[in-house]
Structure 1
Amino acid sequence: MKMFVVTLLMLSAVVSGCNQAPKNGAAPSQTADANRQVQVKQTAPQKKEIQDPRAVAHRLEQIAVSVPNVESANCVVFGNTAVVGINVPPAMDRAKVGTIKLSVAEALKKDPYGVDALVTADMDLNQRLWNIRQQAMNGRPINGFAEEMAAIIGRIVPQMPRDVNPLQSHPPAQR
């Protein structure tokens, strides 16, 4: 009986070893499919070169305002990049604000100028975008942009304790 079990195990090992599986372990049907290439057409809108920043900014603001619960929008275009700030009702909870921001991004994605726009619902950043936009309308686009970017970076950069120099009220004593 013992000899019969050993012979049966050896026979099953030999039979299973004769399976013609590819060396990488994939099933034979998968290797035939892997040799075929799949070509996909690009369906996302391509970003267009921005020739008139004011017109593009106005257009993207109108798209953002068309989304429900967006009270107003401010857009600043610099180079080929657009930043859109949105105002939502102040009592709205954070999860709903995120949903609205996503809805604005989806609406802008359908526009060739808005496909790569940055969307923010942060009140402070939106106010700063408004300030930049007003400066640009008043004929000071570079100065307004530089001032607001300095203020934004000043808020982002942390104050490191080792960088703080203590005020010296008295000159060091001389011996």
Structure 2
Amino acid sequence: MRMFVFIILLLSVVMAGCAQSPKNGASPLQTADQNRQVKVNQTAPQKKQIQDPRAVSDRLEQIATSIPNVESANCVVFGNTAVVGINVPPGMDRAKVGTIKLSVAEALKKDPYGVDALVTADMDLAERLRNIRTNMRNGRPVHGLAEEMAAIIGRIVPQMPRDIQTPPQGNQPQHAAPNRPVNHP
């Protein structure tokens, strides 16, 4: 296997080194001009390093609640990433909720701390973010996060397949139907 990988690498190096000269009389200088690359400066806002997570959280919540139909927002900052949960009026159409979520994301994009923030309008996740935020502000960041992550994972995967225990074959209940072949039409 190593020999095969070595041969492939050797062939790719040889092929790269055997560059062809330009055809139909073009000089190498003309070909170089045609392959010139244009350098473009980055115009998107750059994400700033988060020094004070609480201040960034408050700022992003304020930006999110400034959008019409956003009743409240909860932001949790971990390291250099922010997750913003928004609450919208109950009974709102899904398409309208998606539009509001997009509006919040666009507003956060203009902020250097919110450029890479994650926005959710899911009621359950927004509530869990609020609980995490409350625990963090009460001085229990790890405990609060662990509780909420356990609840989220428990909701996503309520039963782990490896935790299912099958009864031994010899201990079948008396009322169980005998194994019969099934005839399929």
Scaled by the length of structure 1, the TM-score of the pair is 0.74
Residue in structure 2 matched with residue 50 of structure 1 by the alignment = 50
Root-mean-square deviation (CA), in Å? 2.4
Alignment deviations for residues 14-59 of structure 1 (CA, whole Å, 9 cap, x no partner): xxxxxxxx97xxxxxxx89842311111011111111111000000
Residue in structure 1 matched with residue 137 of structure 2 by the alignment = 137
Residues 45 and 143 of structure 1: CA distance in aligned 2, closer, same or farther (over 3 Å): same
The structure with more radius of gyration: 1
Distance in 1, Cα, partners of 2:53 & 2:94: 31
Residue in structure 1 matched with residue 11 of structure 2 by the alignment = none
Cα deviation for residue 163 of structure 1 reads: 4.0
Gaps of 5+ in 1: 1-21, 24-30
Residue in structure 2 matched with residue 157 of structure 1 by the alignment = 157
Structure 2 counterparts to residues 13-92 of structure 1, below 5 A: 34-92=34-92
Scaled by the length of structure 2, the TM-score of the pair is 0.70
Cα deviation for residue 134 of structure 1 reads: 0.8
Residues 33 and 155 of structure 1: CA distance in aligned 2, closer, same or farther (over 3 Å): farther
Matched, 1:110 2:110: yes
Aligned residue for 1:64, secondary structure, equals helix
Aligned residue for 2:83, secondary structure, equals strand
Count of residue correspondences:
143
Cα deviation for residue 127 of structure 1 reads: 0.3
